[in-house]
Structure 1
Amino acid sequence: MKISKLLILTFTMTVLINCEDRRTSGTSDLRIIALSPSLVETVFFLGGGKNIVGASSFCNYPEEAKNIPVVANVSDINLEYAVKLKPDIVLLMPGQDNIAAKLNLLNIKTLKVSQEKLDDILNSFTVIGREIGREQRALAVKDSLNKVLESYKKPANNKTVLISAGREYGTGITYIFSNGHTGFLNDIIKLMGYSNALDTAVPYPKIGAETVMTLDPDIIIDLVPSDITSSTEELLKDWELFRTTKAWKNDAIFILKGDHTTIPGPRIFDLIKELNEKGL
């Protein structure tokens, strides 16, 4: 199994380096605005980063993305600035309808790209690749990453997982923002053979400490933003209130640090790899 994964990952890197769409030369002057961190990362991942002339706030990866002019936040856009950038296309999330409507009134081409579920993330490569002249590269990457996912797929077991996608840090936990049974984080849990301890369609519900203890999950996955400087040991200490849960008793509270853990873009495959390395 380890050998096959290594071969697949090697193939993926080869694709990223060598597989260029023949139409790329015709799109070298393409001007793109991408209005979410995940969309920016996806364009860079497909080799079109140099074509991004505008982005939304909080687009910090890769390093070059920090230098892209900010033209919008998640819910609004500086129209005057966006027009000055003369974009050929603006990539948006499905929830940014109000921004799309404003741009369409100005005859600026927009494309809504869903990255909510794991399949959506994979499909977004080809959707975006087709628009930016990287379709062949995108198809090859999607096929390769599908094989990587298959290599991590495990049979279903009877263990439950609770995800913390946001909480108080450096203090006893009184609430967490968890993850419902929709979205890419839930898909990752299922891929690895587990079931979600929280049965709700709400994407990121806020639940109290009492609810966490009532759910009594076998495993807790604590996703921590990169700007939290606490050590893993300090972050684990925040969970001491839950000493009676199965997750605490079985040393099954896993801390994973980094913004890539909650951004639904290409780096989500790094999260899957990290979870696998922790024995999940």
Structure 2
Amino acid sequence: MNSQSLGNIKFINCLPLHFGLSHGGFGERLPIYSATPAELNQLIVTEQLNISPVSSIIYAQNSEKLVVLPNVSISAEKALESIILVSKYPIEQLKQARIALTSKSATSHGLLKIIMHHAYQASPEYFVSPLSLGEGVLDNAEAVLFIGDDALMAYHHQVAGYYYYDLGGEWKKLTGLPMVYAVWVVNRKFAEMNKEYVQMVYEKVTGGFRYGLTHIADAAHTLQDKFSLTSEQIIHYIGLLNYQFSPAHEEALLRYYKMAHGLGLSPKITEIEFAKVVK
């Protein structure tokens, strides 16, 4: 892996960028390393990667050594179908429950804890597990948190007798705000020493997203044989997401950081520092 590689989330939520990089020419001369959010988080924190999308809470936990690329994120205004709590019981009955958390992300962990604390006055026992869909996933817990493609599969193939909660919808009910799940970050020192390269990557990422969203039907067609989802379901899902980073997204992310800090999940963050690029 090249330290100048662009990290890339290997979930359907990044399909527009995947397609723009691979089919729109935006990936030319750009080494790319694809992994889960949790893997990319670790690679950024340990400086094995210098530019990558990460779970948004990672910036709060490492803001002294990271800056954020402007105008790009993975966000949603409300329910998004890919951060799903599957429970044996109604959520109001999980106050002292054991809840298994996917090991593939970090922002979703904080989001669930915030929602359970503030919306349901609950203090469950949380534990991280390498979850996957299948029999026995609820053997050792009253509820499980899935993200990404696993969550999408769970949402679209619900099993009778279980309860399904979309955390994007729960966050919207709690705060009235959108939720920012991932941001693209750059190692601060790397950004200072490689301004032209960072500018080039910024243009490829934002351009790749624009291309992929413009050709989303073609992009969805490339995945329909890889997942138990139709092209229409994939296009619908992508339509629930927002890939910009507006002032409203910044406000929402700072609210999330404030609430995460209140639960001891991250340091206090009052502003977001962006990489200096020409927009």
TM-score normalised over the length of structure 2: 0.29
Identify, as 1 or 2, the structure richer in strand: 2
The structure, 1 or 2, with the larger RCO (C-alpha pairs under 8 Å, 6+ apart) is: 2
